Amino acid sequence: MAIHFALLLAGAAMVQVQNSYSYAASDWQSDITTAAGIGIDGFGNPQHAQNDYEVDRLVDAFSLFFSFDMSYSWASSDMVSIVQKYANSSAMYTWNDAVLVSTYSGESYGDSFWSDFKSTLAADGITIILAPAFTTYRDPSDANSLMSTFSSIDGFFNWWSWPADVDANLTTATDLAYQAVVKSDRTGPYIMSVSPWQFKNLGTNDTDWVELSDTLWYYRWLQAIQDVNPDIVEIVTWNDYAESHYIGEINSNVDLGDLAPNYVDGFPHTYWRNVSQYFISWYKSGGAPTVTDDQVIFWYRGWPKDTTCSTGSPPRNYGFPVDAVFALALLSSEASVQLYIGSNSFSWDAPAGASIGSVPFPTEDSQIPYIEIVRDNTTIKSGYGSLQVNQTGCSYYNFNPWVGIID
């Protein structure tokens, strides 16, 4: 599992510093300014090792909390040293006046490891709130077991923001079950993750997969706002390019390795931030924001899922995604949103605010979508995608979408 980066709202926002090794201060400032501009409150920082470069990068970042990647080997003393070094920083994110610490995984270390970690810090006058992402705890029926097994934890972060290898949308069953047990007798936050996509293709059986993500960026936000109302929403991710759920810019200074560039380069996700800005405002204010600038954010893959590519094999679950162009409208008032690609078309009467529709891929080769916003029989805005949907010529299995905007 790749190390995560995520974003927090009403808390901090988490950046995957592993993908930021080559960052200069100007790169950090650009990301921070962009994130703050859409309502994100800070970056969180996954830690991989005591002597990792990430520790030195912390001084460049803004509001943050630690998220230790426990799939790496950690000594408690090293973790303690890192928290001690930065606990009193004005940039450190706190929950109820205590330093918030999270993880990716870590349940295999056992409850005594975490109890000792907390007590050692407490002896130094540092109180932490531990809200880990113990990733084996996904089944709702295991929620009570989590609490009885780990008396050390104060809250919980549900890392799972994609369906679990099933051809069905993600439900809130896990969120509601673990939120309930946290709120029953713990003082820490319930952290819910939201994510726009999940695809990875790095050449081995356990690094090639796609999860059903076609409308995930829409319905998962609605789940957070309307069904769960978590203490913190964490966006997964800002810059985990290899898993295709980045919403930050593709930074040319980042070394993506040998294979990830095949499906990351040329596939920007910039405009997914427009979607998150709308829902962040809704989450924070408690009411759907008024849209003042009509826009349609749309995304689609470059090839139908059954296309045979010249390199590699289809990823696990490749049959789940729908071959379609997906479009999310953010409108100031009712309008018809009209989608066209090749000989296919679809339209819907979109209300003010957010709504979503799609048009299937055509059978014709080399087609580009065209989108219109029509109000009172007048085209208000229109435009094309810039990536062709092709039926042939695929050199690498790529289920990462291209994201565009009509504004």
pLDDT tens for 286-336 read 999 999 999 999 999 999 999 999 998 999 999 999 999 999 999 999 999
Distance separating alpha carbons of residues 316 and 205, to the nearest angstrom: 8
Residues paired with residue 348 on neighbouring β-strands, in sequence order: 337
Residue 25: what pLDDT? Answer: 73
Number of Cβ within a 10 Å radius of residue 82: 21
Q: Which residues of the chain have pLDDT under 70?
A: 1-22, 45-61
**What type of residue is 273?**
R
Burial class (CB in 10 A: 0-12, 13-18, 19+), 330: buried
Residue 2: what pLDDT? Answer: 32
Structure tokens at 289: 């924001």
Structure tokens at 211: 């999860």
The stretches of 233-288 forming alpha helices (DSSP H) are 261-264, 272-285
Peptide bond into 237 cis (omega under 30): yes
E strand or H helix at 130 = strand 128-130
Residue 57: what pLDDT? Answer: 60
Q: Is 29 helix (H, G, I), strand (E, B) or coil?
A: helix
Closest among 403, 35, 396 to 200, alpha carbons compared: 396
Cα-based torsion angle of the residue sequence 30, 35, 36, 42 in order, rounded to the nearest 10 degrees: -100
Closest among 40, 37, 31, 192 to 102, alpha carbons compared: 192
Number of Cβ within a 10 Å radius of residue 87: 19
Domains and their CATH numbers in the chain: 7-285 (3.20.20.80), 295-406 (2.60.40)
Distance separating alpha carbons of residues 217 and 193, to the nearest angstrom: 11
Residue 63: what pLDDT? Answer: 75
Distance separating alpha carbons of residues 204 and 312, to the nearest angstrom: 9
Residue with tokens 């045979």, as numbered in its chain: 308
Residues paired with residue 2 on neighbouring β-strands, in sequence order: none
CB within 8 Å of 365: residues ≥ 6 apart: 390, 391, 392
Residue 158: what pLDDT? Answer: 97
Structure tokens at 23: 């960052």
- What percentage of the chain exceeds 90 in pLDDT? 79
E strand or H helix at 216 = helix 216-222
**What type of residue is 137?**
Y
